Amino acid sequence: MKKAVFNLEPLGCPTCVKKIENTLEKMEGIEEIKVLFHSNRVRTQFDESKVQAEDIENTLTKLGYPVVSKKVS
Amino acid sequence: MNARRTSQITAITGALLLIAIGLHLGGLHEWRQGTLIISTVIAGTPIAIKAFQAIRMKTFSIELLVTIAVVGALFIGEYVESAAVTFLFLFGAYLEVRTLEKTRSSLRSLIDMAPVEATVLRDGETMTISVDDVEEGDRVIVRSGEKVAIDGEIISGKATLNESAITGESVPVTKTKNDRVFSSSILENGFIEVLADRVGDDTTFARIIELIEDAQETKSKTQKFLDRFANIYTPAIVVMSILVYLFTRNIEMTLTFLVVACPGALVISAPVSIVAGIGNGARNGALIKGGEIMESLGKIDTVVFDKTGTLTRGRPEVTDIHTFSRKENDLLRVVAEAEMISEHHLGQTIVREAKRRNLILVNEPQNAEVIEGNGIRADIEGQTLVIGNRKLMRTNGIAISNEVEAYAVEREKSGNTAIFAAIDGTIAGIISIVDQIRPEATSALQELRANGIKQIIMLTGDNRHTAELVGKQLDFDAVYAELLPEDKVAMVQKLKNAGHRVAMAGDGINDAPAIATADIGLAMGEGGTDISMETADVVLMADRLDQFSHAYSLAKATVRNMRQNTFFAVGTVVILLAGVLLGKVFLASGMLIHELSVLLVILNAVRLMRYNNKNGKKETATPILQTE
């Protein structure tokens, strides 16, 4: 199990939080998601055999939330 | 939609509106109308998309109301209104995100304090690596001007460190071999080599950030209420708009009603205050874990303090060893050998004193038993030692002569804790230990009273005399001594049953049950011990009591700010709606006032970030319990 924190550009509204949560929840291998509205961050825990941090980053970018920086541990 | 895209679309539609004004002045009416429609479509599309997304997530949003109003305005040919409303809405949203950034900035500045790289010594080689690649057990070198990248113990060197990222305390501290250092401290002067024992997300700093982030996302009761209210309010407004249309048959008034009734400022009024308040607390070393806790903290009227480690420094020292039968060092050695198993700070103080005197502690205690809140019993070199308070002596059938009692009382009255040491059923000596009152305690308690705390009570396991002395010095309303952890719980419960809203402050270990029982549990963080950080509602990162008085007045200010915001948001909507029904407020002007109200609510919250409790004065005098 890996952890990744993605720093995003400022999130505009709580709907953005739900949108990100709903989309990531559907991705296979993602075990935990926390979208932090006030710090513009997404904390995730995922199964690296099923999904990679890059896949999550791409999904976020496609959704319209480009990743400014990320930390995978 | 992110802030950058919002600003781009706002700029384009703003330019289109300017062109439309030019075309209007040039008399090109058809072109003007076309430009306005294009502007409406460009600005309106992202708003409509957001409205659709919100519906899909089963929430009614302000975007939905704006979309209905804009479609209506286009339908009746009010192109100026539709273009102005969409532009103003996007511009407002952009300003909102930018202004919100201010309330988020306190957290952002904390996150930015995290170190990026570290210098480690591996296989005799010094290398600079990313902080994510540092492993437990690595030897990390920190030089002047660098940040500590891990938590660990200094194995060599000496340095002055600024630990404000962790504790909120900006006065540098000097640390040397065997001292602990924390990630994100800045080394101001010197050189140290640290053995990493916590890295990455396990460091104290990373956990503080996570706790603050979670705290900011935790909703307050007011916030939860407003969220529920907004969900009912928005569809209610749609219904009311239909009623307005049925009564007035005025589509323009109906659309204006729809837009100005948007609950934007109302929805944001509570969270922005909470986020700004939590940010301020974090910067000042008080970690308040969430909106609901902020609200409860602002309502407390009674504060219960534990003495040792909370009101006192928690670094006790042996001041005197009085023996009745044997040599001082001999008694100290056997008592220290027995206390080796004790985790109690008084026991550890005795062990420390023995080590300071270079006494060799070789004998392992046999049949050792810790009697919680009273002391310990153990066999050393075939002798049975009973070490602790009077109660322990009594329960073990050890007689306390008048001479011993008189000496103990005399020590206690001068502020010491008298530890009775009995060997084979006879009192062999008394070890006096003193713990200094924290220098800021007097002023912090005065501030708490000035800010509205009705009563301050001390509950301690320590003896009556010392407790009374400390209580008198700090002007407590009541002092209860010689209590066990369960007695403290019962006292807190009793206060709660009497209708008081109680905060319990302790050092987070033996006080944990009472802390959990109180309405608000407050722990001294000591640079972030696990138990205190996880269990308490409020953690004082630098162990300073003035951080508590700041947190309390901050909580009150935050609740006040939240009420101001809610009042202002509701007031604006009521006045605007009245203006609409009286025909004084129109679609674009209504939207402008509405957006301004959102900004004002945020700016009011931003004031909290600079909040500083002015009631209290810093105390320079250091009241210390005298040992003689």
pLDDT tens digits, one per residue of B510-534: 677 888 889 998 887 665 456 666 7
Between these two residues, A13 and B250, which has the higher pLDDT value? B250
Same domain, residue pair B185 and B98: no
Q: Are B548 and B529 in contact (CB under 8 A)?
A: no
Distances (CA, A) of B329 to B354, B359, B403, B411, B463: 8, 8, 22, 20, 25
Looking at CA atoms only, how far is residue B56 from chain A in angstroms?
10
Q: Which of B6-15, B219-228, B394-403, B477-486 has the lowest mean pLDDT?
A: B219-228
Closest residue to A36, CB basis, from B97, B100, B213? B213
**In chain B, what percentage of residues exceed pLDDT 90?**
32
Same domain, residue pair B89 and B173: no
Grouping H, G, I as helix, E, B as strand and the rest as coil, residue B539 is strand
- Of B189, B210, B231, the last residue of a domain is B210
Q: Are B550 and B228 in contact (CB under 8 A)?
A: no
Q: What residue of A is the nearest CA neighbor of B97? A: A12
- Of B68, B103, B138, the last residue of a domain is B103
In a domain, B12, yes or no: yes
B208-249 tens-digit pLDDT: 888 888 887 777 787 778 777 777 877 888 888 899 889 988
The enclosing H or E element of B143 equals strand B139-143
Looking at CA atoms only, how far is residue A50 from chain B in angstroms?
23
Is B133 in the A-facing interface, judged by CB distances under 8 Å? no
| Catalytically active residues of B, by annotation | 306
Is A63 in the B-facing interface, judged by CB distances under 8 Å? no
In a domain, B66, yes or no: yes
Helix ranges restricted to H, B482-586? 485-497, 512-517, 530-535, 545-581
Is B221 in the A-facing interface, judged by CB distances under 8 Å? no
Question: Exposed, middle or buried by CB within 10 Å (0-12, 13-18, 19+), for B220?
Answer: buried
Domain ranges of chain A: 2-72
In a domain, B570, yes or no: no
Q: List the domain range (segments joined by +) for residue B364.
A: 317-434
Answer whether B200 sits within 8 Å of A73, measured CB to CB. Answer: yes
Res. B626 pLDDT band, cuts 50 70 90 = very low
Domain count, chain B: 3
- Of B210, B241, B261, the last residue of a domain is B210
In a domain, B291, yes or no: no
Looking at CA atoms only, how far is residue B628 from chain A in angstroms?
54
In a domain, B404, yes or no: yes
Q: Assess whether pLDDT exceeds 90 at residue B393.
A: yes
Closest residue to B54, CB basis, from A9, A15, A34? A15
Is B400 in the A-facing interface, judged by CB distances under 8 Å? no
From chain A, the residues in CB contact with B216 under 8 A are 36, 38-39
Q: What residue of A is the nearest CA neighbor of B106? A: A39
Grouping H, G, I as helix, E, B as strand and the rest as coil, residue B453 is coil
In whole angstroms, give the CA distance from residue B65 to residue B201: 43
**Token digits for B32?**
């003007």
In a domain, B45, yes or no: yes
B94-129 tens-digit pLDDT: 887 777 777 777 677 777 778 888 999 988 888 999
Closest residue to A9, CB basis, from B2, B54, B108? B2
**Amino acid sitting at position B438:** R
User: CA dihedral in degrees (B594, B598, B600, B604; nearest 10)?
Assistant: 150
Q: Assess whether pLDDT exceeds 80 at residue B624.
A: no
Same domain, residue pair B394 and B364: yes
From chain A, the residues in CB contact with B59 under 8 A are 15, 18
Same domain, residue pair B85 and B148: no
Is B200 in the A-facing interface, judged by CB distances under 8 Å? yes
Looking at CA atoms only, how far is residue A67 from chain B in angstroms?
11
Answer whether B50 sits within 8 Å of A71, measured CB to CB. Answer: no
Question: Exposed, middle or buried by CB within 10 Å (0-12, 13-18, 19+), for B367?
Answer: exposed
B427: CATH: 3.40.1110.10
| B315 phi-psi bin (left φ>0, alpha ψ -120 to 50, beta other) | beta
Question: Exposed, middle or buried by CB within 10 Å (0-12, 13-18, 19+), for B397?
Answer: exposed
Please give the pLDDT value at position B463: 79
Q: Domain A2-72 is of which CATH architecture?
A: 2-Layer Sandwich (3.30)
Cβ atoms within 10 Å of B118's Cβ, excluding its own: 26
Answer whether A73 sits within 8 Å of B201, measured CB to CB. Answer: yes
CA B578, chain centre distance (Å): 42
Identify the CA nearest to B586 among candidates B253, B138, B302, B313: B253
Closest residue to A12, CB basis, from B2, B108, B217? B2
B186: CATH: 2.70.150.10
Answer whether B53 sits within 8 Å of A66, measured CB to CB. Answer: no
Answer whether B61 sits within 8 Å of A15, measured CB to CB. Answer: yes
Question: Exposed, middle or buried by CB within 10 Å (0-12, 13-18, 19+), for B179?
Answer: middle
Is B104 in the A-facing interface, judged by CB distances under 8 Å? yes
